[in-house]
Structure 1
Amino acid sequence: MLSKEDIFREFLESKNLKFTTERQAILERAFANHKHFEADELLVDLRQNKLKISKATIYRTLSLLVKSGLLREVIFGERHAHYEQVYGHEHHDHLVCNGCGKIIEFVENRIEKLQDEVCRRNKFEPESHRLQIQGFCEDCKKMT
């Protein structure tokens, strides 16, 4: 199995892009822990680790990491995009609280089987999917 660094290097080479020290640092910090994160949180993390990388470089590199299949964007819409690791992690879906922003990961095999059935029935070859359910967590629901 290729390392995440090797995968990213090969992806960049396929796009005639370089594996710069800035991109390497962003890759390393993005995989330093296993939680969802925002680009601004990564910026703070990089600066706390004495790495001066521009916000634009971080956003461009995160986009490349998503396109390479190593990261996935989790939340869209009015909130900032969150990122999570895909490499080395099992597929899962998300419940996202509109109140506090909490993200609950879940795996439901019945949903996966239904999606596979829909694709088969429509002669469609899936590459990826993202299921995200917006609502309110138990704590926020009590407050309304």
Structure 2
Amino acid sequence: MKSARQVFMEYLGDNGMSMTHQRRVIVETFLESEGHFTAEQLYTRVSSQVPDIGQATVYRTLKLLVESGLADAFDLGEGVTLYEHHYGHAHHDHLVCVECGRKVEIVDETIERRQAAVAQEHGFTLTRHRMVLYGLCPGCSGTG
């Protein structure tokens, strides 16, 4: 399996782009950052290393990371998009607390099979999917 860096370098080359110093710092910081984070959070991490980097450069590089298959982006609504590693990571879905923003990654084979069956019942061949369930975590609902 190719490294994430190799995949990104190939993606840039295939699209007539090069690895600039700023892109390199953004990609390295992204790859070192586990979990879910916003573009603004990544920008804060990157700008502590390269103070003159622009926020637009971080956004553009995140877009390239998603297009290359290294990152996944999901919209939480209200203008908030979270990013996470995609390449080399197993598929998972998410539970999101609407009160505190807590995120839990879930893997449930029963749900996966049911999603495939629903798609097949409607004549669809699944190529990808994302499931995000919103609710209140135990701490916010008072049940924890």
AA of the residue aligned to 1:94: H
- 2 CA distance for matches of 1:78 and 1:86? 23
* Identity in percent: 38
Corresponding residue number in structure 2 for 1:142: 142
For residue 92 of structure 1, report the CA deviation from its aligned partner: 0.6
* Separation in structure 1 between the aligned mates of residue 51 and residue 27 of structure 2, nearest angstrom: 13
How far is 1:79 from its partner? Answer: 4.4
Deviation at 1:105, TM superposition (A): 0.8
Question: Which residue number in structure 2 is paired with residue 66 of structure 1?
Answer: 66
In the alignment, which residue of structure 2 is the partner of 1:14?
14
Distance 2:27 2:51 in 1: 13
Does the aligned pair in 2 maintain the 1:46–1:52 contact within 8 Å?
no
Corresponding residue number in structure 2 for 1:118 = 118
* One-letter identity of the residue aligned with 2:19: F
Q: How big is the shift at 1:114? A: 1.4
Q: Distance in 1 between matches of 2:18 and 2:124?
A: 35
1:84 is matched with 84
Deviation at 1:123, TM superposition (A): 4.2
Displacement after TM superposition at 1:60 (Å):
0.8
Q: What is residue 131 of structure 1 aligned with on the other side?
A: 131
SS of corresponding position for 2:53: coil
- RMSD of aligned alpha carbons: 1.8
Cα distance per residue 1:104-141 (max 9 Å; x no partner): 11101011111222333444332221100111111111
How many residues matched?
143
Tell me the alpha carbon deviations over residues 3-31 of structure 1, each in whole angstroms, 9 at most, x when there is no partner: 11111122222322222221121111011
CA distance in 1: counterparts of 2:51 and 2:5, whole angstroms: 19
Q: What TM-score, normalized by structure 2, do the two folds share?
A: 0.89
| SS of corresponding position for 1:127 | coil
